[in-house]
Amino acid sequence: MVGGAPREWRPGILALGDRHRLQTFLDGAGFTSTSIEGVGMTWTFADADAYWTFLLDLTALGPLVASLPDAAREAVRAAIDARLAAFTNAAGVALPSRCWCALAIR
């Protein structure tokens, strides 16, 4: 274990999405003072196609989705498009999000 993380942990875009895991890493690194704060942000995309491209090209889901048979991949795309509808307007897709920002002092 490194910094309290299980051996099977692998870094990735959402690897520190769990506040407790982030705090465990900071504590394991020996910082004397830490603070973690949630900060709101918005992921914006021109349209559902742009989001789909992002998902396939830049996330860990890309290889998984690409490995699906055509019918399954189309079903995943339809489900994602249906969920995106609530976040889509004339300007594009705006997905509200929150990230953890940490301050650590040694």
Say what the pLDDT of residue 45 is. 98
101 within a domain of the structure (yes/no) = yes
11 within a domain of the structure (yes/no) = no
For 46, residues 6+ apart whose C-beta sits below 8 A from its C-beta are 92, 93
Confidence of residue 17 (pLDDT cuts 50, 70, 90): confident
Say what the pLDDT of residue 77 is. 97
94 within a domain of the structure (yes/no) = yes
Contact assessment for residue 11 and residue 20, using Cβ atoms and an 8 Å cutoff: no
Range of the domain at 67: 19-105
- 48 vs 6, residue with greater confidence: 48
4 within a domain of the structure (yes/no) = no
The per-residue pLDDT of the chain, averaged, comes to: 90
Say what the pLDDT of residue 14 is. 76
Domains contained in the chain, number: 1
